[in-house]
Amino acid sequence: MSVCAVLESHVTESKLKSICKRIFGRWEWVSNTCDCVGGTRIIIGWNPDVINLMVLNKSDQVVHCFGQLCDSGKVLYLSFIYGDSYHIRRRDLWKDLIKHKVVVKDDPWVLMGDFNVALNNSDYMIVSSKVKRGVVDFQECVDEIEVVDVNYIGMQFTWFKSPKDGKGLRGKLDRIMANMRFIDSFTDAFAIFKPYRISDHCPAILSLPLIRKRIVPAFKFVNVVADKEEFIPMVKDVWGNKVEGYFMFQVT
């Protein structure tokens, strides 16, 4: 693990430094405690030997970062999210993400965390015929910023509510989403949603397999033919043929 985000920690500012030092060790870390009321909502730690991470902006619901992988030099934007439980206040998050898309432009961007709302009604174990207003807001934001779920394995429903009167509720509130540039740049990336442990949310993991440098084969041919008198005239004759179609079709 190279980056770790802890959500809904409720750690007070006075204890934050000592706790982060104990958890992250020699890693660097940052939080949004200054933007929160009643404890820290997002804490992020990272291994500087693996990734250079720079915080761009933060609020009580999201921390935006820019990272560069030390081994490959690849860059990406990361947004760590803890959405508010009230759909009206979550609208500030959606506005923030839409604005941040302007910063990201065409670079890889991944968003991960607890959105505190499902993207579709089918993301709840008990499906309702009525679409919640918060779901519609989330859908409109996703359409605007043009992101999709990263391929994942593991738990489908990432959150559960303790049973009441024998009836529990499960839903997919935690997601790892990315834009198409991220999908194209990190083709082997996938998400893992582990089983519940001490939290009522599943641990969510984004895996970026080691990037292997592509070896470009050398162009080789029997160069002695270039010494033949008929070689250059023959090349000119063949390449001079008129072929209709797209450029790559003509070359082929």
Q: Are 173 and 118 in contact (CB under 8 A)?
A: yes
Q: How many helices (H) and strands (E) does the chain have?
A: 6, 14
- Residue 138 phi/psi, 5-degree rounding, is -65, -45
DSSP state of 216: P
Which residues are paired to 57 by β-bridges?
64
Q: Are 196 and 202 in contact (CB under 8 A)?
A: yes
Residue 223 lies in a domain: no
Residue 135 lies in a domain: yes
Mean local confidence (pLDDT), 191-207 = 91
Q: Is it the case that residue 55 has pLDDT exceeding 90?
A: yes
Host domain of residue 66: 3-207
Residue 214 lies in a domain: no
Q: Which range, 144-153, 206-215, 222-231, has the best average confidence (pLDDT)?
A: 144-153
Percent of the chain with pLDDT over 90: 61
Number of domains in the chain: 1
Residue 38 lies in a domain: yes
Let me know the angle formed at the C-alpha of 32 by 27 and 33, rounded to the nearest 5 degrees: 105
**CB burial class (10 A; 0-12, 13-18, 19+) of residue 128?**
exposed
Dist CA 119 CA 141 (whole Å): 10
Dist CA 174 CA 192 (whole Å): 11
67: CATH: 3.60.10.10
Q: Which tokens sit at 28? A: 């660097």
Closest CA to 112 of 1, 184, 205: 205
Q: What is the mean pLDDT of the chain?
A: 89
Would strands 62-69 and 190-193 be described as parallel, antiparallel, or unpaired?
unpaired
Q: For 24-54, how does the pLDDT look when each residue is reduced to its tens digit (9 = 90+)?
A: 999 999 999 888 887 789 999 999 999 999 9
Dist CA 226 CA 52 (whole Å): 50
Q: Is 58 helix (H, G, I), strand (E, B) or coil?
A: strand
Residue 98 lies in a domain: yes
Q: For 91-143, how does the pLDDT look when each residue is reduced to its tens digit (9 = 90+)?
A: 999 999 999 999 999 999 999 999 999 998 888 876 555 667 789 999 999 99
Lowest mean pLDDT among 58-67, 73-82, 124-133: 124-133
Mean local confidence (pLDDT), 76-88 = 95
Residue 230 lies in a domain: no
Residue 222 lies in a domain: no
Q: Which tokens sit at 88? A: 């009206």
Mean local confidence (pLDDT), 193-208 = 90
